[in-house]
Amino acid sequence: MELQVPLGIGKANVSEYFEEIEYLRLVGKDGQLYPTRVDQIEFLGDDVLILDKSLNVIFMFDQNGNLTRVLDRKGGGPEEYLYLHRFLVDNISGIIEVYDKVGQKILTFDRNFNFISSVRVNLFFQDFLKLNNGTYVFYLAQENQYNDSIVKKNLVLWGKGGVKFTAIEQLPTDRFSLRRGLAFDVQAGKIFASQAFNDTLYVLDAGKGDELSKILLDFGPAGLEVASSDRQRLSLDDLRRLNSGKSYVYGVDDLFVNDLFTSFSFSYYDNGVSHANQHFYFPQSSKAFTVNRIYNDIDAFNLFEIRQVKGEYLVFDLNPEYLTMIDYEKTSEKFRNTIDFSRSLEDQMVLVFLKFKSSISKKEG
């Protein structure tokens, strides 16, 4: 299968693609920790969970944006972690699973951050999922010493009995880590994986566990090339680092797959200039588009990355540092009313919710 990926041409106005924009201001409590950045965001019901790796904690906010609790269990004990790298939430059971990358273990907590259990996996990985049968899916992106052998593949299915299945040969460039290289389409029962410096998405049947297929990403116009003078200066290793050899594309990441759309980020070089993009494909309408970042023409600020998807909404964050740089006179009244100017901007963060237009995401007629 081949997926055509048009390259973005400049910035796109939000009103071209989205019919709604909503804001949620996250409010800290005086004298308590507050996130300085978002490394991962997940939703547990209407609660918002944010991982801040610099502080090594997870914050929980309620649906009104009020801070309700903080997971702060740093330490080497059985109920503690050394370094939080990723976490999962289960909206049915309400449990939260956090991955301690230094301790190589997964700890389970309830929605009130009460400790439940811990399991040592003895693997370093970048991203992970959990299937309905209790099996974990790890994306390694690096060699691992596991028991008496070395795991040299990226995709690993792991259960209580250990490693069950491995796939996707590792590349030297996999050390350039992914933020979100895995996605699970629950309805289709398919696991999707991206490889940052490769023009391919990998699809694994979650039910069978050993059927791996590929989707070739065909990027942009056929004539896209790095300027000839730049090409002469690049070694073969440099070219491999930039792309798989088919196109000058790199950094395929931020993978989201559901019944509404498939999306991923990527970058490419054009005459020595790097362009960051987000691609969207809608299977119901067979429509696709790529944007070179997204420019919000309503509130005059740039939105850089998708952090999460909640229903039909894309979720972005405006962190405290970014809030201090916004020219509020050029923003809408709706956005200005979201901000509490009587409080320090360093104690506020705003989540932005964008809903796709139905004419884009759904088949007409």
DSSP state of 17: H
CA–CA gap between residue 38 and residue 36 (Å, rounded): 7
Enter the DSSP assignment of 335: H
Q: Please report which residue ranges of 111-242 form alpha helices under DSSP H.
A: 228-233, 236-242
Of 254, 344, 87, 327, nearest in space to 336 by CA = 327
In angstroms, the first-to-last Cα distance of the chain is: 27
**In which domain, by residue range, is 222 found?**
2-361
DSSP state of 284: T
Q: What is the CATH number of the domain that holds 66?
A: 2.120.10.30
Q: Distance (Å, rounded) from C-alpha 42 to C-alpha 35? A: 14
Distance of CA 38 to the CA centre of its chain: 11
- Each residue's pLDDT tens digit in the chain (365 positions)? 788 888 766 677 788 889 989 999 998 877 678 898 999 999 999 999 999 999 999 999 999 999 999 999 999 999 999 999 999 999 999 999 999 999 999 999 999 999 999 999 999 999 999 998 889 999 998 889 888 889 999 999 998 778 989 999 988 778 766 889 999 998 888 999 998 878 889 999 987 767 889 998 887 654 444 444 444 445 545 555 554 445 567 788 999 998 889 999 988 766 666 778 889 999 888 888 888 877 777 787 777 678 999 988 999 999 888 898 898 998 999 999 999 999 888 889 999 999 999 888 877 65
Going from the C-alpha of 17 to that of each of 97, 280, 284, 289, 296, the distances in angstroms are 34, 11, 16, 10, 11
* Number of domain units in the chain: 1
Show the beta-strand stretches assigned E in 114-219.
115-120, 127-130, 136-139, 144-146, 149-151, 153-159, 162-169, 182-185, 190-194, 200-205, 212-219
pTM above 0.75, yes or no: yes
Stretch (H or E) spanning 250: strand 249-257
Whose structure tokens read 């740089």?
325
Evaluate whether 268 touches 224 at the Cβ level (below 8 Å).
yes
β-bridge partners, 236: none
Q: Which one, of 363, 249, 285, lies nearest residue 5 by Cα?
A: 249
In the chain, the amino acid numbered 82 is L
Half-sphere exposure of 329 (CA within 13 A, CB side): 0
Residue 290: the pLDDT is 87
